[in-house]
Structure 1
């Protein structure tokens, strides 16, 4: 079984379309959260995942948009939340609000969280990647550790993976706002049976997004940082 792994789309329709167009043949998609926030197209990105019935977990921006509570968000993040709340209809807001913090896919073989199995807001850096994360996910989900082949997470916007005896741990990177110095949209493909991960990047028109950010009245830095991968 092959899964296309997405995370941190952040309302960037142009980047999401580039990723979906570039996606090789897979048996399904999964999203590790933060469908909305920052960029100008929250409704289009929510619709794209809903139309494809993509299993998704709730990121911190998804939660903030659904609840209207963005405590601790910086001005750029707060502007993105406010833009999304005025752009989304009640059904889209309810969908975001109903997303789980953690779930399994692929017949229970892959766990999906946003930040960390124990804390959806924790930034799990690459130095923390270990098989112990798979064990924590199994414990939090109430499943047998031996049934999991992989853990998928996001939140850091930095693409990385590791394969351990307990299973693979994958951060596919950010579709809509990479922060690893590479401006190309990031995603990954997981071969569940082989526990193999292919990290993938695809170019998209960051200038067009920056123009749309300005047209939407969002902070200019939201758009300009995309060309830097920051």
Structure 2
């Protein structure tokens, strides 16, 4: 049975990425849901590490797009702008080209992969149920995997017909670490963030997916946060990028 490593929002945090790769063990393929770079102190190293993973499928995140010039920097806050400008200076022309060539959305078999949402792959956040429900009409596969919010979550659309009308509704849950869940068709799942979790759990987040059984398992792993904070400050990046790592927001 094949094992897929699903990860997102690495954000230049090599220490967290290496911890995830060690914890995940042997996998058959890797699905990366975007934002390899941004915020963190080792964007080049993270890009090269991701690019060489086995069977990689990677989509473009908003920070990846901003580094390539695809997005207007002023769509971001001041600290994110400083990080994007610094990141650009660390990458080679080939690195930037690799990011620029990432697709916004990938569909295959019963899976859609994207960063923000199926409706707006680069920028839209799936944080409220109204936005989530609208997005179910923007993909036709059984499952859609997203990142961007840095929060592990799962949404499922249930089509409840009554009086000839679609009275569908969205249910949601926050998976617990190491909890094995069978994905129900018409689900959107988010593995959380490797490099900058925002759910008040400082551990790096990722998921293992088993396509044959449609089993989804959220995982969390500790890494040396202090070491990454020191690298952020030594690089002259905004101190907020360091402080939020130990607070998980």
TM surpasses 0.5: yes
Of the candidates 102, 106, 131, which is equivalent to residue 103 of structure 1?
106
Shift of 1:27: 2.0
Q: Structure 1 54/97 Cα, relative in aligned 2: closer, same or farther at 3 Å? A: same
**Corresponding position of 2:138:** 136
DSSP 3-state at the match of 1:92: helix
DSSP 3-state at the match of 1:16: helix
Query: 1: distance between equivalents of 2:75 and 2:133?
Result: 31
Query: 2: distance between equivalents of 1:19 and 1:207?
Result: 17
Shift of 1:137: 1.9
**Corresponding position of 1:141:** none
Q: Structure 1 24/167 Cα, relative in aligned 2: closer, same or farther at 3 Å? A: farther
Higher radius of gyration, 1 or 2: 2
Q: Structure 1 131/198 Cα, relative in aligned 2: closer, same or farther at 3 Å? A: farther
Q: Following superposition of structure 1 onto structure 2, how do residues 73-222 of structure 1 map, counting pairs within 5 Å?
A: 73-105=76-108, 108-120=109-121, 121-125=123-127, 127=129, 133=135, 136-138=138-140, 148-162=141-155, 165-222=184-241
Q: Structure 1 88/127 Cα, relative in aligned 2: closer, same or farther at 3 Å? A: same
Q: Does 1:59 align with 2:78?
A: no
Shift of 1:39: 0.6
TM-score if structure 2 supplies the norm length?
Answer: 0.82
Q: Which has the higher helix share?
A: 1
Gaps of 5+ in 1: 139-147
8 A contact 1:134–1:150 mirrored in 2: no
Shift of 1:197: 1.1
**Corresponding position of 2:164:** none
Q: Structure 1 70/98 Cα, relative in aligned 2: closer, same or farther at 3 Å? A: same
Query: 1: distance between equivalents of 2:225 and 2:19?
Result: 11
Give the RMSD, CA atoms, in angstroms.
2.0
Moved more, 169-178 or 108-117: 108-117
8 A contact 1:112–1:151 mirrored in 2: yes
DSSP 3-state at the match of 2:65: helix
Query: 1: distance between equivalents of 2:120 and 2:241?
Result: 26
Gaps of 5+ in 2: 158-183
DSSP 3-state at the match of 1:166: coil
Q: Structure 1 66/130 Cα, relative in aligned 2: closer, same or farther at 3 Å? A: closer
Query: 1: distance between equivalents of 2:220 and 2:130?
Result: 23
**Corresponding position of 1:43:** 44
DSSP 3-state at the match of 2:243: helix
TM-score if structure 1 supplies the norm length?
Answer: 0.88
Q: Structure 1 223/130 Cα, relative in aligned 2: closer, same or farther at 3 Å? A: closer
- Runs ≥4 in structure 1, deviation > 6 angstroms? 129-132
**Corresponding position of 1:19:** 20
Shift of 1:199: 0.7
How many residues are paired up?
A: 219
Shift of 1:191: 1.8
Q: Structure 1 163/190 Cα, relative in aligned 2: closer, same or farther at 3 Å? A: farther
Shift of 1:133: 4.6
Q: Which has the higher strand share?
A: 2
